[in-house]
Structure 1
Amino acid sequence: MNEIVKNWILENMLPANSMSQELAPLLSLLFLGLVVFALGFIANLIAKRYILTWLSYFITRTKNKWDDVFLDRKVFNRLSHMAPAVVIYLAAGVIFPEAEEHLVELLMKKGALIYMILAGLLVVNSFFSAVSEIYANFEVSKNRPIKGYIQAIKIIVYLFAIILVISTLIDRSPLILLSGLGALTAVLLLVFKDTILGFVAGIQLASNNMVRQGDWISMPKHGADGDVIEVTLTTIKVQNWDKTITYVPIYSMISDSFANWRGMAESGGRRIVRSIKIDMTSIAFVDNADLAEFRKIHLLKDYLDEKDREIQEFNRKTGVDTSNLVNGRRQTNVGIFRAYALAYLRQHAMIHQEMTLLVRQLQPEPNGLPIQLYCFSKDQRWAFYEDIQSDIMDHLLAIVPLFGLRVFQQPTGQDVRMLGLTSAADAK
């Protein structure tokens, strides 16, 4: 074909002289090269304007949503770039078959091959991004995220594409380059250390279901305390409660300890543990007059009647002299307060009655006797949970004096001032 074009140029475009004989082959090659690129341009035009347009029209009218994701991720758009490269590659072999044009054919074919490799890389990248997006729409994605695996596959594809490009440029088999990678293993391990560690850790996290998107985790070492919003190949993205973002290396989730609050979320309750410290000098036995006042409290009436019968029966059987406060059993103001706190929690609408619920004494401390509330709220949302436990503590702290008890607290400036005024009054 080159000879035909060259002869046509000599006969119709150039004068018959020695310079024309030298210039004609170059013009012929230039003309044929333009023809090859024109064919590629036409192929690109047909692929994008007609085939891609028709395919987009068809996809947008199907009931399936996954094909829309492939369209949005431009998988088909990037695939259309293969058309001109394939046409140029095939046309170069047909138009430049002669040995003297081998260099032109070689350059065109290598350029087309490299373009096809890069276009294929973009197609694969978009394809796996679309697969990740489609998978995220399924419920199983919350328990088994695959974003880290997708990133690992993309890295492998990138490396393979680089090897193909290099092998195309140097005209050597990719297997030769792959066999030479053994010497670079140490370097690759050093460069991709975090990626390799993250990939292995990601497999362990996924297989053991240790952490997933949407979990609330606490990891003080890395300053993370909030919801997991993304799990990638190398990091876990955590949005803290103050709306800051913390990126935790994924392999740290294996090597270090962290708290996952998913169990609390799945249990249906959120634990409340609060203590009221009672001044131990205010603890005392109660007499009949006190009991009569306490019986006016609706939540205590049944408890006091039952406890009173139990104590009287015990004292009768043992035959002790109850005129002495030391003998026998008696009710105390702190015991009645504990009973009231327990009854209050049992009738509270926002306290989970099917989970652990108790009011107990802890070991006495220099700061008083702790009365601990241990229960679970039904509402796990942070703000509502805080409101529930605050309302409970407000109520119990306010009624402590009604039982003849005092809440212990460190002396304040007001206490010191009142002590000084009292001392001054006594001195007068």
Structure 2
Amino acid sequence: MHKKLEKIFDWCYPFLKKLELGETISAYLSLFVNILLMSIIAYIIYFIFRFILVTSMVVLAKKTKTKFDDLLVTNKTAKYISHLIPLLFIYKSVPIILKNFVYWESVFGKLVGIYIVLLSLWIIKTIFHALRDHLKQNPSYSDKPIDSYIQVIMIVLWIFGLFIIISKIFDIDTGKMLGAFGAISAIIILIFRDTILGFVASVQVSLNDMVRIGDWITFDKFGADGDVIEINLATVKVRNFDNTTTTIPTYSMISDSFRNWRGMLDSDGRRIKRHILIKVNSIRFLTETELEEMKKIQLVANYIENRQREIEKYNAIHNIDKSLLVNGRNMTNFGLFRKYITQYLIQHPGLNQDMILLCRQLQPTANGIPLEIYTFSNDKRFENYEYIMADIFDHIFASIGFFDLEIYEMPSDKSDGFVN
């Protein structure tokens, strides 16, 4: 090949000398012509090989069932590979063209070698990107932080590429470069501290299955509340429900606390846990007359009948004086209301009846007694979940007056609007 290249480029200088243009002018004109000729031949080689490689890969991608080769076409891998052939031609041609210009031969030779290293790394990058896109289409890998692993591999390759480039520029042996790298590793660790921490964090996040792509997470420290759309070496990207994007350092996923809603989404229901405050002075015993009136409420009619018989039997056995309601056993409006709400929840079509369903009384507070609803909706979608919860509490607010109960509300000063 070397002899063939000499035949291509060695004709010009003797020809110009025959024209008696002088040594210097002949040398520089010959250099200009040869560079132009080399550029034209390199472009022709590039054009031919690009056409062959790109066309072949497109045809192959259409005929095969796998999608990986289609992704290689999308990421323009063949186009970048086609640059290598003319570069190799230029790399071999430079020593012949510049044999009378020793300094520039060394400079251009190094530049072409550096460009070959960079182009090789770029080709590897496009292959990895195609592999990433291919794996993300596979349900088994769609929630894995593939970007993190590819970034780590590319960082290592770029470091080795940098060593090769430096060794070419300064004519240093690559083995000595690696030895020097070991000596300055502490400085490198300091410089790439965040990258190393991000890599460790991304591995831990993946191995411990702490978060996946598609998970709904809440991270109060960073104001994130939405779906994870990307996990890479340095950051985790979250698309919030208001369509903004929050970027979280990957290391924060293991150093700080966040909430992952995956367990709820994978379960059979989404929890409803909310309470209202009942005024203590509105809770009282119910008289026989009031109980008879409340039997008209269908959800608790049978309960009142059965409860009345049980209470009357107990009071009769123990000779309870019922001239005062406080004596013996009695029903309260608050207890009856809790029973009513429980029955209402049991019949509600939006709740999962196979999971916990409670209407319970919590520890009294200075603002009243909390009455808490603890149940699970059978629809976990955000908008439907909110609708079901609102429907339940709308009914509670509307029905509480039938039991002569009051909801606590913070009193307001209506005199001048200002707090004294």
Deviations 1:273-311 (A, max 9, x none): 222222222222212222222222111122222222332
- The 2-side partners of 1:135 and 1:211 are apart by 18
The 10-residue stretch of structure 1 (322-331 or 372-381) with the greater mean CA deviation from structure 2: 322-331
- The 1-side partners of 2:11 and 2:396 are apart by 108
How far is 1:38 from its partner? 4.3
Q: Is the 8 A contact 2:279 2:407 kept in 1?
A: yes
Aligned position for 1:339? 339
The 10-residue stretch of structure 1 (1-10 or 108-117) with the greater mean CA deviation from structure 2: 1-10
Q: How does 1:9-24 map to 2 (within 5 A)?
A: 10=14, 13-15=16-18, 20=22
Q: Residues 149, 362 of structure 1: CA spacing in aligned structure 2 closer, same or farther, 3 A cutoff?
A: same
Q: Residues 16, 339 of structure 1: CA spacing in aligned structure 2 closer, same or farther, 3 A cutoff?
A: closer
Q: Is the 8 A contact 1:69 1:130 kept in 2?
A: yes
Aligned position for 1:420? none
Q: How does 1:12-411 map to 2 (within 5 A)?
A: 13-15=16-18, 20=22, 34-91=36-93, 106=106, 109-411=109-411
How far is 1:340 from its partner? 0.1
Q: Residues 281, 20 of structure 1: CA spacing in aligned structure 2 closer, same or farther, 3 A cutoff?
A: closer
- The 1-side partners of 2:358 and 2:379 are apart by 18
Q: Is the 8 A contact 2:271 2:375 kept in 1?
A: yes
How far is 1:204 from its partner? 0.6
How far is 1:84 from its partner? 0.6
How far is 1:233 from its partner? 0.8
Q: Give the match's secondary structure for 1:325.
A: coil
* Residue identity matched to 1:329: R
Deviations 1:89-126 (A, max 9, x none): 34557x5798x787676555434322221211111111
- The 2-side partners of 1:86 and 1:274 are apart by 71
Deviations 1:16-36 (A, max 9, x none): 76x646655665565555554
Q: Give the match's secondary structure for 2:148.
A: helix
Deviations 1:320-367 (A, max 9, x none): 334442332111111110000000011100011122111111122222
Q: TM-score, normalised by structure 1?
A: 0.86
Q: TM-score, normalised by structure 2?
A: 0.88
* Residue identity matched to 2:81: L
- The 2-side partners of 1:395 and 1:7 are apart by 98
* Residue identity matched to 2:409: Q
- The 2-side partners of 1:7 and 1:160 are apart by 41
- The 2-side partners of 1:265 and 1:225 are apart by 15
Q: Give the match's secondary structure for 1:299.
A: helix
- The 2-side partners of 1:23 and 1:142 are apart by 64
* Residue identity matched to 2:378: K
Deviations 1:148-188 (A, max 9, x none): 11111122222222221221222332222121112322321
* Residue identity matched to 1:48: R
* Residue identity matched to 2:395: H
* Residue identity matched to 2:78: F
The 10-residue stretch of structure 1 (79-88 or 333-342) with the greater mean CA deviation from structure 2: 79-88
- The 2-side partners of 1:330 and 1:307 are apart by 9
The 10-residue stretch of structure 1 (25-34 or 349-358) with the greater mean CA deviation from structure 2: 25-34
How far is 1:380 from its partner? 1.9
The 10-residue stretch of structure 1 (325-334 or 335-344) with the greater mean CA deviation from structure 2: 325-334
The 10-residue stretch of structure 1 (291-300 or 1-10) with the greater mean CA deviation from structure 2: 1-10
Fraction of identical pairs, as percent: 39
- The 1-side partners of 2:24 and 2:366 are apart by 108
- Report the number of matched residues: 412
- The 1-side partners of 2:395 and 2:7 are apart by 103
- The 2-side partners of 1:7 and 1:161 are apart by 37
- The 2-side partners of 1:6 and 1:144 are apart by 58
Q: Is the 8 A contact 1:96 1:102 kept in 2?
A: no
* Residue identity matched to 2:74: D
Q: Residues 207, 16 of structure 1: CA spacing in aligned structure 2 closer, same or farther, 3 A cutoff?
A: closer
How far is 1:412 from its partner? 3.8
Structure 1 residues not aligned, in runs of 5+: 418-428
Structure 2 residues not aligned, in runs of 5+: none
Q: Residues 22, 386 of structure 1: CA spacing in aligned structure 2 closer, same or farther, 3 A cutoff?
A: closer
Q: Is the 8 A contact 1:283 1:332 kept in 2?
A: yes
The 10-residue stretch of structure 1 (59-68 or 105-114) with the greater mean CA deviation from structure 2: 105-114
Q: Is the 8 A contact 1:278 1:406 kept in 2?
A: yes
Q: Is the 8 A contact 2:237 2:246 kept in 1?
A: yes
- The 2-side partners of 1:52 and 1:369 are apart by 74
How far is 1:200 from its partner? 0.4
- The 1-side partners of 2:401 and 2:13 are apart by 114
- The 1-side partners of 2:23 and 2:195 are apart by 61
- The 2-side partners of 1:3 and 1:385 are apart by 80
Q: Residues 374, 4 of structure 1: CA spacing in aligned structure 2 closer, same or farther, 3 A cutoff?
A: closer
- The 1-side partners of 2:373 and 2:13 are apart by 101
Q: Give the match's secondary structure for 1:70.
A: helix
Q: Give the match's secondary structure for 1:331.
A: coil
How far is 1:238 from its partner? 1.8
